[in-house]
Amino acid sequence: MESSRGPPRVKNKAAAPIQISAEQLLREAVDRQDEKLKAPTQRFADMEELHEFQGRKRKEFEDYVRRNRINMNNWMRYAQWELEQKEFRRARSIFERALDVDSTSVALWIRYCEAEMRNRNINHARNVFDRAVTILPRVDKLWYKYVYMEETLGNIEGARSVFERWMQWEPEEAAWSAYIKLEKRHGEFEKARAIFERFTVVHPEPKNWIKWAKFEEENGTSDLVRDVFGTAVETLGDEFMDEKLFMAYARFEAKLKEFERARAIYKFALDRMPRSKAATLHKAFTQFEKQYGDRDGIEDVILSKRRVHYEEQIKENPKNYDAWIDFARLEEASGNTDRVRDVYERAIAQIPPTQEKRHWRRYIYLWLFYAIFEETVSRDVERTRQIYTECIKLLPHKRFTFAKVWLMAAHFELRQNALPKARKLLGQAIGMCPKDKLFKGYIELEMKLFEFGRCRTLYAKYIEFNGANTSTWIKFAELERGLDDLARARAIFELAVDEPLLDMPELLWKAYIDFEEGEAEYDRTRALYKRLLEKTDHVKVWTSWAQFELSVPDADAPPPEDDAPPSPTAIARARAVFDAAHTRLKERELKEERVALLAAWKSFEDEVGTPDDRARIEKQMPRKVKKRRKLDDDSFEEYVDYVFPADDQSAANMARLLANAARWKKEKEAQAQAQGQTAEE
């Protein structure tokens, strides 16, 4: 019975004491080869035996090529064997038979040509190369082999003629470079220059022009280099312009210490190339200016860089008025007046597409900045006036206008000592498109000129235009007060408070009260407070009245000093105002207002009251109570209510009276019932 055993197990996995490398194994295998196993060298006794051997080999090769005619390796091995047998005619015949099978096999043509060259059959090789390049003119390897053979043989004219035949097919750039190198190796620089000229016509890439310029730099003159670069710029044009060409041109000029020429080249390129294609050129120009230029030159580089950036933004969106403004600011910083005007003229030509004011808000600033530039920088007064005139004509005043334009135009005329023109402009503006800003600006102008009669007329027209504007009434009254015409000022205030549609009537009443108080008309001030409280019960009005009474001096007393405490009479008057306010608010059940009033009253008593007065107010202060109320959707919410002690006491008294009345009613009913029972008995 056989026992099944598994694979042998390795008990010791440690490294062997003697290590053998793969190289050593291979060396020993070669050294220990048996000589008897090597292929024997075949020897022939006579020519008959050799011919018999050659016949057998030929038959084998013929069988191979017959079975697989399209396999060129069989043909090439066959021809190589014939070449080894020194049978050149037979080998040539085999190559020709193979070419009849596949005349486009590049490897076969090359093997054929190399065989002829190796055996020094030069004319045969030329014939084969001529046939090869005629059949396969687009295979560069054949042309290279052909040229190499001719140059190796010293037949430079032959090599040149081969290159000329090749160049007629307009091959790749490497072929032209090889032709140029051939001429350079033999010192034919004029011919190389002519080849470069043809080369750049066939392949007008910027790098090829740069190669030509380097050739002229090494072998020609600086004028020839400049001619090459100039021709390249003209040939490529703006469409195929490349930054590498200009960088090479500028570096060449800088090498010759022609820094102004180099700077002009950089600027020429940066003005014509888009920013996306000139990033490296900008860096090179900046580096050039840092190395060879001054501060103005570096700033000019930065300006040109920003100029290209703004041109791209404007090209993308001509209605980007912010970009136009920034562009104009940039040109103003450069100090070139013609450039600034050109930018502004191009900008104001971009009229907004619709007659909506929101589209014109940024556009109108282009006109204003243009006018300011012409007035302050160019000092061209007539041009500035023309800008303002054209801007005013352009605006659709029936739909909207810009008061800033009218006011700036008027101030410009005023600066030119043409006051009638300024007034005419503002009058025209108010007549065509009246606005608050126009009235305010016109009035401010006349105020500075101390033409108060005109100011009164303008205020009257302003109020006719917009009588609801509280600030207009107040400023009109302040004007009359400043002229010491109190009757006019008071009449204006009276007209204003009777106006039914004021935008902020509280400011008007405050101004009227302050006016009367400032003129020490205390009775009129009290009357105004009373008239105002007929219209509103606002806590601030009551508090202001109380503070006013506190500051009013007594009738017979001398004027108090600034730090003197208020008199008892003034305190009593102020307390009476607080008391009346509390009563009024309590009657109208305005709890929030009562709380605010009591807080102000408490502050008043803490400042000027006695301890009894403070205690009396403290007793009236409410307490907060949380309550719940039902909403429309049957849900409840909590809110804070105020409970006043006085109201609690009144409610308690009322509840006690109601309870006594109910008890009295029950007693009466009981007595009546007892009397009825007695009558029945």
Q: What is the mean pLDDT of the chain?
A: 81
- CA nearest to 200, candidates 184, 187, 213: 213
pLDDT band at residue 1 using 50, 70 and 90 as cut-offs: very low
At 588, list the tokens.
Answer: 């109208």
Tell me phi and psi for residue 353, to 5 degrees: -75, -25
Q: What is the pLDDT of residues 572-588, one digit of tens each?
A: 787 888 788 777 877 77
pLDDT tops 70 at residue 4: no
Does an H or E element contain 110, and which?
helix 106-118
At 516, list the tokens.
Answer: 């009367």
The stretch 16-28 carries a mean pLDDT of 82
User: What SS3 string covers 169-208?
Assistant: CCCCHHHHHHHHHHHHHCCCHHHHHHHHHHHHHHCCCHHH
pTM for this predicted structure: 0.55
pLDDT band at residue 658 using 50, 70 and 90 as cut-offs: low
DSSP 127-150: HHHHHHHHH-TT-HHHHHHHHHHH
Q: What is the pLDDT of residues 416-449, one digit of tens each?
A: 888 888 889 888 888 888 888 888 888 888 888 8
Amino acid, single-letter form, for residue 290: K
Task: Report how far apart, in Å, the C-alpha atoms of 677 and of each of 391, 664, 672 are.
Answer: 109, 20, 9
pLDDT tops 60 at residue 149: yes
pLDDT score for 56: 79
- Contact predicate 245/236, CB 8 Å: yes
pLDDT tops 70 at residue 299: no
Q: What is the pLDDT of residues 188-220, one digit of tens each?
A: 889 888 998 888 888 888 888 889 888 888 888
At 121, list the tokens.
Answer: 């059959």
pLDDT band at residue 298 using 50, 70 and 90 as cut-offs: low
- Contact predicate 116/124, CB 8 Å: yes
Q: What is the pLDDT of residues 492-533, one digit of tens each?
A: 888 888 887 787 888 888 888 888 888 878 788 888 888 888
By three-state DSSP, how is residue 500 classified? coil
pLDDT score for 535: 80
By three-state DSSP, how is residue 268 classified? helix
pLDDT tops 60 at residue 458: yes
Residue 490 makes CB contacts below 8 A (sequence gap 6+) with: 515
Q: What is the pLDDT of residues 607-654, one digit of tens each?
A: 777 787 777 777 777 766 677 777 777 777 776 666 667 665 454 555
The stretch 104-130 carries a mean pLDDT of 88
pLDDT band at residue 372 using 50, 70 and 90 as cut-offs: very high
Longest distance between any two alpha carbons in the chain, whole Å = 187
Terminal-residue alpha carbon distance, the chain: 143
d(CA 624, CA 93): 126
- Contact predicate 573/545, CB 8 Å: no
- Contact predicate 64/78, CB 8 Å: yes
Q: How is residue 376 annotated by DSSP?
A: I
* Lowest-confidence pick of 81-90, 445-454, 603-612: 603-612
**637-644 long-range contacts, CB within 8 A, separation 24+:** 641/591, 642/591, 642/592, 642/594, 642/595, 644/591, 644/594, 644/620
pLDDT score for 641: 65
Residue with tokens 């006794």: 45
pLDDT score for 2: 43
pLDDT tops 50 at residue 30: yes
pLDDT score for 369: 92
At 188, list the tokens.
Answer: 């034919």
The stretch 14-37 carries a mean pLDDT of 77
Half-sphere exposure of residue 15, counting CA atoms within 13 Å on the CB side?
A: 4
pLDDT band at residue 262 using 50, 70 and 90 as cut-offs: confident
Half-sphere exposure of residue 328, counting CA atoms within 13 Å on the CB side?
A: 24
More confident residue, 680 or 263: 263
The stretch 89-96 carries a mean pLDDT of 86
More confident residue, 511 or 537: 511
Residue 378 makes CB contacts below 8 A (sequence gap 6+) with: 337
The stretch 375-401 carries a mean pLDDT of 88
